[in-house]
Amino acid sequence: MAAMLPLSIVVLAAGQGTRMRSTLPKVLHPLAGKPLLQHVIDTARQLLPQRILIVYGHGGAEVRRRMNASDLHWVEQAQQLGTGHAMAQTLPELADESVSLVLYGDVPLIQHTTLRPLVASAQAGKLALLTVNLTDPRGYGRIVRDAQAAVQCIVEEKDASAEQKRITEVNTGILAAHSDKLRQWLAQLNSNNAQGEYYLTDIIAMAVQQGIAVQTSQPQTATEVLGVNSRGQLAELERVYQRQQAEQFMAQGVSFRDPARVDFRGEVSFGRDVEVDINCIFSGKVTIGDNVRIGAGSIISNSQIESGVEILPLCVIEDTHIGSHSRVGPYSRLRPGAVLKGDNHIGNFVEIKNSEIGLGSKVNHLSYVGDTQMGGKVNIGAGTITANYDGANKHRTIIQDHASTGSNTVLVAPVTVGKGATIGAGSVITKQAPAEKLTLTRAKQITVEGWQRPSKKTRD
């Protein structure tokens, strides 16, 4: 067998995307929180190419800025004269001794498993073409075969005869071939067709004429080759992608109350026997342990949740670590830097930011805990606030093991509540509260004798 040639992957992404009606270049629109083009690049990388060339046009500077990575090479197509013209722009960058695979920046769900056979056929000297059968082939280039079913050419919809239009096998646009052959063929393209464009698809007939075999293959599912031209199509692909993710996680042992009502916008990993109620969103890197239950409507990003944790409904959790067997929510907000050591109870309308909450400590109702080091077995009363910001600087609060604060306590940082200290309800604590003692600041309750409630003057 001949030695394997290095692989160059060309991503065509110069189209304008007019139908998106957007100032954002089409390929930067997000699918599952990630730009369309990024999906294609991530898949391309799985094939370990020698280089990835991206043909850009509209909004190029912005696309380059967002996608910046050292393995990407950028090729400008100043005027969009067709797919063949786009491909031709890469020729100065393509080594003759290589295989080229052509992908599309707006076809985000293509899988590396579908692409591998194409690359293998191209390595074997064939022209490899990814085709698909559609019940409604309108708008696509048709695959024309001869009586022996050998591919003859591709004819674009606008150039097709009535008979050709009845062909249901269509061109996905994705193909692979030896780069030196591509160079020869691209040099011969012309724009004598209905759209006045240089069609990349015209190279098929050229290969056939030279006696080069055209090898077709199909994707595992037709959704892999769907393109995004409008926001409607983008939304459809989003649902396809989300459904696939949910199915994959279910196969690994996760239960979703409704797999159609959960969204994944990053990399999530789940342990065994996790239950997820409806309308949850997972974004960024999220790690979830075994036996975790997540209530409806929770939004979890870039966080670790250890085993046995229960998240009650409607929590917003970001850059947080939740130790095992904790219970959070409903309506809790865990902000960046919240670290719950384990066995914690965080209740409704509690906000925690940049704070460590020791083992077994509870913050059950209506509290703000920020920039705090909290020991274990602490009980924070309803309405306790750490006043950590003096308008210019943030200060830390230290609450030691077994301390307990009464309702409506304000801890004015920097301040320390000693081990086992108790703070009386309604106190504003500005100085150290000593260990094991009751500290409170409270105006004495008085009752005014003989006081009368004012009554409304009657007009005479």
Give contact residues for ligand UD1 (rule: CB under 6 A).
12-15, 55, 77, 80-83, 85-86, 104-106, 140-141, 154, 156, 170-173, 199-201, 227
Q: Are 266 and 286 in contact (CB under 8 A)?
A: yes
Active site includes 325?
Answer: no
Closer to ligand UD1 by Cβ: residue 172 or 400: 172
Q: What token pair was written down for 69?
A: 């990575």
Residue listed under structure tokens 């590396």? 112
Please name the residues in contact with 371: beta carbons below 8 A apart, sequence gap of 6 or more.
Answer: 353, 354, 355, 386, 388, 394, 395, 396, 397, 413
Q: Spot the catalytic one: 58, 321, 325, 365.
A: 365
Which residue has its beta carbon closest to ligand UD1?
141
Nearest Cα neighbor of 341 from 301, 374, 383, 299 is 374
Amino acid at site 12: L
Closer to ligand UD1 by Cβ: residue 181 or 402: 181
Closer to ligand UD1 by Cβ: residue 161 or 248: 161
How many other CB atoms are found less than 10 A from the CB of residue 154? Answer: 26
**Shortest distance, CB of residue 396 to ligand UD1, whole angstroms?**
53
Q: Are 341 and 324 in contact (CB under 8 A)?
A: no
Q: What token pair was written down for 305?
A: 């949740």
Nearest Cα neighbor of 14 from 96, 72, 85 is 85
- For the chain, the first-to-last Cα distance in angstroms comes to 114
Closer to ligand UD1 by Cβ: residue 182 or 433: 182
Q: Is the peptide bond before 330 cis (omega within 30 degrees of 0)?
A: yes
Amino acid at site 96: D
**Dist CA 47 CA 33 (whole Å):** 23
**Shortest distance, CB of residue 196 to ligand UD1, whole angstroms?**
12
Closer to ligand UD1 by Cβ: residue 77 or 355: 77
CA-to-CA dists, residue 344 to 341, 369, 378, 387, angstroms: 7, 14, 10, 22
**Dist CA 222 CA 207 (whole Å):** 26
Catalytic site positions: 365
